[in-house]
Amino acid sequence: AQSVTQLGSHVSVSEGALVLLRCNYSSSVPPYLFWYVQYPNQGLQLLLKYTSAATLVKGINGFEAEFKKSETSFHLTKPSAHMSDAAEYFCAVSAVSGNTPLVFGKGTRLSVIA
């Protein structure tokens, strides 16, 4: 069985500040891990994915995440927040490969203050 816990349903940062969104996973098999972003009234867009290659994964829009097996974590970071980063962010896990169903966390809403 797999599960994802996102710590903090709402995170607020100032423009230009570091963004850190936390995700911890549980998986009985080596996991595939993903971060998706959802803008209002839109679908989910993939930010980045971990598929057992490099533990530091770089994604779109300046985001990156580090897979830490010992901590069962996959936190999302961005050095400098932009107003356009305000959205809902979802961490997800799947077993075996990306063509098996995703199990999502509850999401974290990111607000960026000018």
Binding site for other proteins (CB under 8 A): 32, 34, 36, 41-46, 49, 51, 90, 97-99, 101-107
Q: Which residues pair with 103 in a beta bridge?
A: 93
CB contact set of 41 (below 8 Å; sequence gap of 6+)? none
Least gap, CB of 54 to other proteins (angstroms): 14
Question: Is the Cβ of residue 59 or residue 62 nearer to other proteins in the bound state?
Answer: 59
Least gap, CB of 104 to other proteins (angstroms): 4
Which pair of tokens denotes residue 77? 């970071």
Spatial separation of the C-alpha atoms in residues 55 and 43, rounded to whole Å: 27
Dihedral Cα 80, 6, 4, 34, nearest 10 deg? -20
Longest Cα–Cα distance in the chain: 42
Least gap, CB of 32 to other proteins (angstroms): 7
Rounded to the nearest angstrom, the gap between the alpha carbon of residue 24 and the centroid of all alpha carbons in its chain is: 10
Least gap, CB of 17 to other proteins (angstroms): 27
Question: Is the Cβ of residue 27 or residue 104 nearer to other proteins in the bound state?
Answer: 104
Question: Is the Cβ of residue 18 or residue 46 nearer to other proteins in the bound state?
Answer: 46
Question: Is the Cβ of residue 85 or residue 105 nearer to other proteins in the bound state?
Answer: 105
